[in-house]
């Protein structure tokens, strides 16, 4: 069971301590490491997940790669290893490149302390960004908002209190949100495993639904706003998020329900013009075809397992960042 004082990531005594999200919600285990390879593996297997959290963890990992001595070769090896972990979330590359810029500018005079300080700064900035996103999001809610969200965007996905989740949390505290529907988020159930517990921890009324139930609820008039996070936002506002987000946005458009994105500006990739340029990570077939090692499909079944899809900017009512609520047309 997740405890009320749980945390996602902390840097303590020159070690990264992080919660193992694969085991949640039934078991709470914190992993402590000073090995950048262990952190890279944790990102790959989703022990650490959520675009901002991945970036923060990678910054700490790159710092730790230099703890036994500064070397441009070892720095490059660690950089390349971390960059290979997950291709879609641009926060990973944003954080790695920020660390690399500092390293290149100060090398050979740079110390591991400089790297630690920069990683902590990235972490602290995300905490502040989460707070600002939550506040800017207050203006999106209709009276007695009945919200639907997809995947997990709370404390477990970031360095602070969350992105889309924090908008919901602050909206509920302000009396603007009356109920939340959390998609289970197949195939790894970040909604039913993680978002459900974070909603419960904040005493926000909610129900978990299958991903395919959302349209039925919209038809019944039980949902009047949708908000999700993002893993990469193109210059024109096209947005990649957890698989199933595109379907949710299309349903919102059909039912005339506003659909919002909440993410820090580090998620915006101005180097790409539109969503067609966003690389989509393909996960292992076993994530869809098995559960805790038990095969759910006939032996030999093949599966198509994209981790993300892309929502066209034309379906997005607004993008909430730490700067403001951006309205269409988008041009970042």
Instruction: Report the relative pairing of strands 206-209 and 177-183 from DSSP bridges.
Output: parallel
Q: Which long-range contacts (CB under 8 A, 24 or more apart) does 96-101 make?
A: 96/55, 96/58, 96/59, 96/62, 98/59, 98/122, 99/59, 99/62, 99/63, 100/62, 100/75
Report pLDDT digits (tens) over 210-248: 999 999 999 999 999 999 999 999 999 999 999 999 999
How many residues are present in the chain? 332
**Separation CA 131–CA 158 (nearest Å):** 12
The answer on pLDDT for 4 being more than 90 is no
Residue 280: how many other CB atoms lie within 10 Å:
16
Lookup result for tokens 């090692």: 293
Residues of the chain above pLDDT 70, percent: 99
So what's the pLDDT on residue 255?
98
Beta bridge partners of 109: none
The answer on pLDDT for 269 being more than 90 is yes
Active site residues: 231
Query: Which letter does DSSP use for residue 330 in this model?
Result: P
Q: Phi and psi for 16 in degrees, rounded to 5?
A: -90, 130
- Alpha helical stretches, state H, 265-314: 286-289
Q: Phi and psi for 127 in degrees, rounded to 5?
A: -60, -45
Report pLDDT digits (tens) over 188-208: 999 999 999 899 999 999 999
Report pLDDT digits (tens) over 14-63: 999 999 999 999 888 999 999 999 999 999 999 999 999 999 999 999 99
Dig out the tokens for 304 from the structure: 């198509």
CATH code at 136-326: 3.40.50.10470
Dig out the tokens for 42 from the structure: 């944790």
At 127 the three-state DSSP class reads: helix
Structural domain spans, the chain: 9-131, 136-326
* CA geometry: angle 153, 155, 158, nearest 5 deg: 70
So what's the pLDDT on residue 3?
56
Query: Which letter does DSSP use for residue 142 in this model?
Result: P
So what's the pLDDT on residue 2?
52
Residue 129 vs residues 179, 212, 232, 309: alpha-carbon distances, Å: 25, 32, 16, 25
Q: Phi and psi for 259 in degrees, rounded to 5?
A: -120, 120
Instruction: Report the relative pairing of strands 30-33 and 15-19 from DSSP bridges.
Output: antiparallel
User: Which helix or strand (DSSP H or E) is residue 177 part of?
Assistant: strand 177-183
CB-based contact 105:137 (threshold 8 Å): no
Query: Which letter does DSSP use for residue 266 in this model?
Result: G
**Residue 143 confidence class, pLDDT cut points 50, 70, 90:** confident
Dig out the tokens for 207 from the structure: 């129900």
Specify whether domain 9-131 bears CATH 1.20.120.420: yes
So what's the pLDDT on residue 293?
87
Output the pTM of the full model. 0.96
So what's the pLDDT on residue 291?
87
**Separation CA 58–CA 97 (nearest Å):** 10
């Amino acid at each position: 069971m997740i405890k009320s004082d749980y945390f996602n990531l902390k840097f303590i005594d020159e070690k990264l301590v992080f919660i193992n999200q694969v085991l949640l919600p039934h078991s709470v285990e914190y992993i402590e490491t000073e090995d950048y390879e262990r952190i890279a593996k944790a990102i790959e297997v989703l022990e650490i997940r959520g675009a901002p959290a991945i970036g923060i963890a990678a910054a700490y990992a790159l710092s730790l790669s230099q703890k036994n001595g500064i070397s441009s070769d070892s720095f490059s090896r660690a950089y390349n290893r971390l960059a290979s972990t997950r291709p879609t979330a641009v926060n990973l590359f944003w954080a790695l490149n920020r660390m690399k810029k500092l390293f290149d500018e100060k090398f050979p005079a740079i110390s591991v302390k400089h790297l630690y300080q920069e990683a902590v700064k990235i972490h602290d900035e995300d905490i502040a960004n989460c707070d600002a996103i939550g506040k800017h999001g207050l203006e999106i809610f209709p009276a007695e908002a009945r919200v639907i969200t997809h995947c997990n965007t709370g404390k477990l996905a970031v360095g602070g209190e969350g992105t889309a989740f924090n908008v919901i949390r602050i909206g509920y505290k302000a009396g603007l949100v009356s109920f939340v529907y959390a998609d289970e988020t197949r195939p790894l159930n970040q909604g039913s495993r993680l978002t459900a517990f974070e909603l419960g921890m904040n005493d926000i009324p909610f129900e978990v639904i299958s991903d395919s139930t959302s349209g039925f609820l919209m038809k019944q008039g039980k949902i009047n706003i949708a908000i999700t996070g993002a893993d990469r936002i193109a210059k024109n506002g096209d947005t990649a998020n957890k698989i199933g987000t595109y379907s949710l946005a299309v349903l919102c458009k059909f039912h005339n329900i506003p659909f919002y994105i909440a993410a820090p500006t580090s998620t915006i990739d101005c180097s790409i013009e539109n969503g067609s340029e966003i690389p989509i990570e393909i996960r292992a077939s076993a994530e869809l075809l098995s559960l805790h090692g038990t095969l759910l499909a006939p032996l030999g079944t093949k599966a198509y397992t994209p981790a993300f899809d892309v929502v066209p900017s034309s379906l997005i009512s607004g993008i909430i960042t730490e700067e403001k609520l951006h309205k269409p047309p988008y041009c970042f």
